[in-house]
Amino acid sequence: MISSGGMRGSTFASDPGNPPTATAAVRADIAITAHVDVASPTQGSSSRSPVPTEPQIVASRVPQQQSTDTTTEATTTAPGITTIVQAPCFELTMKTLNVLCFGDSLTYGNGSHLGNSTTNTYELRGNYPMEIKSLLQSMLLARCRNSKHSAVSRIDVFNLGLNGVAVSPGRIHYGDTTNWKVGLRFARQAHIAIFMLGTNDSMEKHWKGAQVFENAFHIYINKLLEGNPRLQIVIVNPPPVLPDLVRWRRGLPLTDIAYGIKPVRIKAKISPMIKSIAQDFHRNNSCVSYLDIATRIRQRIPQLDSLAEKTINGSAAADEVAFAQSLYNDGLHPTKIMSEMISDILMSHLVENVFPALARSVA
């Protein structure tokens, strides 16, 4: 059974391991706020100010310690991490909006969507699907309360991530898992599917070659479309990775990326293939869109690649490593701060590209 948001009910297993030391350079206690701009009557005037047919909805995160007011101003939670999403005009007529998040451990996150305790190996990780759900609730539900056109009263976001899985066929093939099979059934009635896989395929034990990866990737997307031709699919290039920060904390040599991930293979082979596949699908089916989240993250944190190099060669200062640890607890898995950035970037893509297309498809 797959859980949506914080609902209990899944029995999917987690990877074993020792919990890393909790280190945070940036506060992660972020409040989700919604701001609705609707013109109100002028006090003492007999005439009413014109009320926009579509109110402006802004979903934003503001640091709790700064202010409890909800404003439309963008706020920064860490260097390069700014959060604000404004919704354009679109009409959604479904009562429940269903969003599926397919992926590996970068999607699974801390497992909090299963109601699990986070005082374990995954306690420092975030959970971008739950962040997406929070932003959707603050934006769409507030918007719908102020629009006679939109009817959304419930939002279900299903985290279908599973640790260690790869796109390519093999020992830990995502296509053989319960998460994928159940998600494929859910997709028949879903509205949006976010597909973010490929990082684990860079490992030697999973890499079967470019052609095998490309063929397997096509099969996933084709099966989703076969079950639901109107499903809005977002193919996401996974986020960048850093050196193994757990090894760094233990004083061990940084000769590899966490878990044997190969960033050179990701950058040279996997990322270009994912982009090409997504573009091919989009040319034939407008329901499929592409989001290069790795590039968007690097645009927000320009020092990310140089930080990785400095950490490997031992020249990174303590505050620089602390900043890296605030983004990736082990160099690979996003913390809450990084998960929030991922969800922000995804939300912008949904608002700008997916929701308008979805509104047209269900009209």
- In this structure, are residues 197 and 165 in contact, taking their beta carbons and an 8 Å threshold? yes
Amino acid code (one letter) for 109: G
Give pLDDT tens digits for 46-88.
Answer: 332 232 222 233 333 433 333 333 333 333 344 444 444 444 5
Cα 70 to Cα 67: distance, rounded to the nearest angstrom: 8
Global pTM reads: 0.74
pLDDT above 80: residue 290: yes
For 36, the enclosing helix (H) or strand (E) is strand 30-37
Question: Domain 93-362 belongs to what architecture?
Answer: 3-Layer(aba) Sandwich (3.40)
- C-alpha distance from residue 232 to each of 135, 174, 266 (Å): 18, 20, 25
Exposed e or buried b for every residue in 183-209, given b needs 16+ CB within 10 A?
A: bbebbeebbbbbbbbbbbbbbeebbee
Q: Categorize the per-residue pLDDT at 122 as very low, low, confident or very high, splitting at 50, 70 and 90.
A: low
Closest-CA residue to 165 (of 187, 194, 197, 193): 197
pLDDT above 70: residue 18: no
Residues with Cβ within 8 Å of residue 291, at least 6 apart in sequence: 234, 235, 236, 237, 345, 346, 349
Q: What is the pLDDT of residue 143?
A: 59
Q: What is the pLDDT of residue 44?
A: 35
| Averaged pLDDT of the chain | 73
Cα 98 to Cα 157: distance, rounded to the nearest angstrom: 6
Q: Categorize the per-residue pLDDT at 27 as very low, low, confident or very high, splitting at 50, 70 and 90.
A: very low
Residue boundaries of the structural domains of the chain: 93-362
- Radius of gyration from C-alpha coordinates of the chain: 21
For 75, the enclosing helix (H) or strand (E) is strand 75-78
pLDDT above 60: residue 274: yes
Residues with Cβ within 8 Å of residue 55, at least 6 apart in sequence: 36, 37, 38, 143, 146, 147
pLDDT above 80: residue 248: no
